[in-house]
Amino acid sequence: MKEAPATGPAPETVLSLHGVTKHFPVRAGGLRRRVEAVVHAVDDITLDVGRGETLGLVGETGSGKSTLARCMMRLVDLTAGTLLLDGEDISKLSARQLRPYRRRMQMIFQDPYGSLNPRRRVGSIIGDPFAIHDVADGAERKRAVQELMELVGLNPEHYNRFPAEFSGGQRQRIGVARALALRPELVVADEPVSALDVSIRAQVINLLADLQDELNLTYVFITHDLSVVRHVSNRVAVMYLGQLVEVAGREDLYARPRHPYTKALQSAIPVPDPDEADRTTRAAILGEPPSPIRPPAGCRFHPRCPKAQSLCVAEEPRLEVKFADAADHVTACHFPLADGEQLPAAGSVAAAAPAAVAAGATDRAEAAP
Amino acid sequence: MCGQDEPKLLLEVQDLTVSFPTSDGLVQAVRGVSFAVERGKTLGIVGESGSGKSVATQTVVGLTRGARISGRALFEGRDLLTASRAELQKVRGKKIGMVFQDPLSSLHPYYRVGWQIMEAVRAHDRVPKAQAHRRAVDLLSLVGIPHAAERVDDYPHQFSGGMRQRAMIAMALALDPSLLIADEPTTALDVTVQAQVLELTKHLQDMLGMAIIMITHDLGIIADTADQVMIMYAGKVMETAGRRDVYYRPHHPYTSGLLNSLPQSGHEGERLVPVRGQPPSLIDPPPGCAFWPRCTFAMPKCRTDPPPLRPLPGSDDHASACWLPLELTGRTGDVVEARQRASAAGGGLALSLNVAGGAGSSAGLGGEAAQ
C-alpha cells in the first residue's frame, strides 16, 4: 500500500482500541421511555491490530463481538474509550468528519442475502464506494468495477445482473469486491463465511487470503467457528460477555490455552475425525451465557467455570501475562490453566441431574403403553 | 414394546424421488434415494444446502405438501408414502419423533412449554391431565432442565436457546418413539451449548434405545454421533459408509472434496483445497453424474451415464456412486495420483486440470464458467 504510513506515530499498529465500551439502554414502554437497564455489550476493551496481520475475534452469541466490530468501524458511537486509526483519534468524530477515514476501513458482512440491495444491479452496488467518495465515474468507474469483479473471481460480464442471479458464495464475493473498492488498509469481516456451505466456504477463505497477500490488507476476522479462526488468524482474541478473556498468537492459544473458557470452547468443537472424537469428551462446561444486562460480578465467566473459587466472585481478573507466557499472550483469569492442564469434568449430562434422569427413566418404563 | 425378534431394519426407504412443481419448472429435490435405518443406531445424513437431505426425510413422515413423490418408505413393515393422513398422524409423534433446527419457531410462543408437551402426549394417549403434566415434568428433567417442576409452566421466551432445544427433544421423546429425526438440531446453538445437546442426545439414545437420523452439514457432528453415514449431493446419494470409512477411506471425489475443504489442525495458514464451482440447479440437473462439473477426475462417461451406487469390494456397508475404480479409497497423494491415472485412462482431463495447484480463484472462475 502506497499511502500507508506517514500519519501515525506507530505505523505498525493500524487500529488501536483503548478501554472501548459500548452500552445500549433498555427503555421502558410508555411515553417517557425511561431507561430501565443497560446492556453491557462491550466493556473496556483494549487491543491493538497490527498492520498486515489477521486478528481473529472469537465468541459465542451475545459475547459482543459484532458490537465490537461496529465500534471498530465507528458505525456506532462509543460509550467510552478511544479508538485510534493510524494513530489518529477517530472515537469522537462526527459522521461527516469520519468520511475520509471510511476509505481506509471497510466491512464485510455475514449475510450475503441481506447485505445486497436486491433491486440494484451488481455493477452499481460494487460501484457505490466510488460514487460516495467521488473518485471515478462513467466508463472509468465501470472499468474499475469490472477489475474488482475479476479480482474476486466474478465474471466481469455479469456487471448488469441482479444479486438474485448469484449464488451465496458469489454474493459474498460481491460483498468483498465492494469492501475492497477503495483499497482500504483494514477490513473487518463479521462472520464472512458462516452462511456458506463447506465446499464454497473454502473458496472464500482462500480468496480472502489471496487478497490479503496481494493488497497488503489487515483483517479483523470475527467468527464463532474456532476451526476457521485457527486457520486464518495470526492472533486470536477470545470474548465472553462483552470482555476479552484471552489474547494470544494462534499457535500459543491452541497449544497453551490459559483461560478455562478458551479451553472449553476448543474442546466443544466437533472434530471431523471419528477416532479423535472417541478419544475426547465434550461438554466441559455447563449452562449458557448469562444476560449482558446484569453480567455476573467478579469474573463474568465464574457461574459456568469449573475452576471458579470465591476470589472469582469477589474480584474481576485483569487481562495480563500469566506464567512465563509470551508478552503478547494475555489472560483474564485468577486461576489460569497450566500447560496441558485439563478442565475438571463438571459437564456430563448425567451429572447435571442424576436423580431426575433416573426417576424419568423408571417412570417412563411404567408409563410406556 | 421393543421385542427381541423384531427385524433389524426399522426404516427402509427405496428409490425415493421427490419433486416440486414451481413456476420456473419442476425442482427435482430427491432423485432416487435408498437408505435404511437400523433399530437403535444412528444414520447420519450429510449434505450441503439443496442436497435434498431434509426433503428426503420430511417426505418419509409426510411433511412435504404439494410434492410429487414416488418410491417406498417402509417403517416397521408399513409403507408410509401410501399411508392415509390418519395413519401418518398416528406414526408421527408416537413412533417417530422430530427435532428441527430452529427451536424458537418450533415452539408456540403463546402456550406454556409444559402445556405443549402435554398436548403431544394427550394427542396419542388418552391419559388424565395430571398424569400428562407429571410426564411433562419428568421429560423436562430427563433432558436436563433444572427445576423442571417450576420451569414446566414457563413460556418458550423464558427459556434460553439451549433449553428450548432441550424442550423440543423432550417433546419428541414424549411417547417413547423408536425413531428420532433430528434435522440440524444444533445449528442454531453456540458450540458449548451444542456440545451439551449432542451429549444429551447420545445419552438418551443409550438409555432409551431409539434410532436416530441425524441430518447435518457439519462433518464434525457426524464423526461424533453417527454409526452409518450417507453423503448426499444434488438429490442423490454419492456415498454411504460406516463412520470411520467415510473419514479414512472415502471413495467418492465429493466426499474427499468436502473433507479437504475443512480447515485441518496442523495445517494452519495453508491454502484450503476447496471444491471448485458450485452445486447444479435442481430444475435442470446434469444428465450423468451430478458432481461431474465440479469433479477433477471427470471422464466423458461421467457426463452421460449416471453412476449407480456400487458396493466396495470386501465391505458390506460401503458403497459409492462413482465410475472411478472401487479400490481407490482414501485421501493420500498416491490415491489421488492413481485416480488421476484412472481418469486419464477413461479419457478424463484430470491431469491437466490438477497440475495447476492453484485451486483457488482460478478454479472458482472455472466453476462459474462451467455453470
- Report domain extents, chain B: 9-230, 250-263+275-370
Phi, psi of A61 (to 5 degrees): -50, 135
Choice between A366 and B184, residue whose per-residue pLDDT is larger? B184
- Per-residue pLDDT at A331 exceeds 80: yes
Query: Stretch A222-233: mean pLDDT, rounded?
Result: 90
Choice between A81 and A167, residue whose per-residue pLDDT is larger? A81
SS (H, E, C) chain B: CCCCCCCCEEEEEEEEEEEEEECCEEEEEEEEEEEEEECCCEEEEECCCCCCHHHHHHHHCCCCCCCEEEEEEEECCEEHHHCCHHHHHHHECCCEEEECCCHHHHCCCCCCHHHHHHHHHHHHCCCCHHHHHHHHHHHHHHCCCCCHHHHCCCCHHHCCHHHHHHHHHHHHCCCCCCEEEEECCCCCCCHHHHHHHHHHHHHHHHHHCCEEEEEECCHHHHHHHCCEEEEEECCEEEEEEEHHHHHHCCCCHHHHHHHHCCCCCCCCCCCCCCCCCCCCCCCCCCCCCCCHHHCCCCCHHHHHCCCCCEECCCCCCCEECCCCCCCCCCCCHHHHHHHHHHHHHCCCCHHHHHCCCCCCHHHHHHHHHHC
Mutation target for B interface from A262, A273, A366: give the one with most B CBs within 10 A: A273
Q: Tens of pLDDT along B303-353?
A: 999 999 999 998 889 999 999 999 999 988 899 999 999 998 888 875 444
Query: Stretch B67-79: mean pLDDT, rounded?
Result: 94
User: Least CB-CB distance to A198: which of B217, B294, B365?
Assistant: B217
DSSP single-letter state for residue A316: P
Q: How confident is the model at residue A87, as a pLDDT?
A: 92
Contact B244, B226 (CB under 8 A): no
User: Least CB-CB distance to B224: which of A154, A270, A363?
Assistant: A270
- CA B180/CA B311 separation, integer angstroms: 27
Name every chain A residue with its beta carbon within 8 A of the beta carbon of B271. 206, 209
pLDDT band at A17 (very low <50, low <70, confident <90, very high): very high
pLDDT band at A162 (very low <50, low <70, confident <90, very high): very high
Question: What is the rounded average pLDDT for all residues in chain B?
Answer: 88
Q: How confident is the model at residue B359, as a pLDDT?
A: 37
- CA B162/CA A266 separation, integer angstroms: 19
CATH number corresponding to B9-230: 3.40.50.300
pLDDT band at B105 (very low <50, low <70, confident <90, very high): confident
Touching check for A54 and chain B: CB below 8 Å? no
pLDDT band at A105 (very low <50, low <70, confident <90, very high): very high
Q: How confident is the model at residue B97, as a pLDDT?
A: 93
- CA B296/CA B275 separation, integer angstroms: 9
Q: How confident is the model at residue B110, as a pLDDT?
A: 92
Q: How confident is the model at residue B4, as a pLDDT?
A: 52
**Interchain pair A224, B160: CB under 8 A:** no
Touching check for A230 and chain B: CB below 8 Å? yes
pLDDT band at B180 (very low <50, low <70, confident <90, very high): very high
pLDDT band at A279 (very low <50, low <70, confident <90, very high): confident
Q: How confident is the model at residue A283, as a pLDDT?
A: 54
- Per-residue pLDDT at B363 exceeds 70: no
Contact A330, A320 (CB under 8 A): yes
Q: How confident is the model at residue B207, as a pLDDT?
A: 92
Return the minimum-mean-pLDDT range out of A25-39, A156-170, A225-239: A25-39
- Report domain extents, chain A: 115-183
Phi, psi of A217 (to 5 degrees): -85, 155
Query: Stretch A190-202: mean pLDDT, rounded?
Result: 88
- CA B100/CA B16 separation, integer angstroms: 22
Phi, psi of A240 (to 5 degrees): -140, 120
Q: How confident is the model at residue A286, as a pLDDT?
A: 82
Q: How confident is the model at residue A6, as a pLDDT?
A: 42
Burial B112-141 (b: 16+ CB within 10 A, else e): bbbbbbbebbbebeebeeeebbbbbbbbbb
Q: Tens of pLDDT along A110-122?
A: 887 888 999 999 9
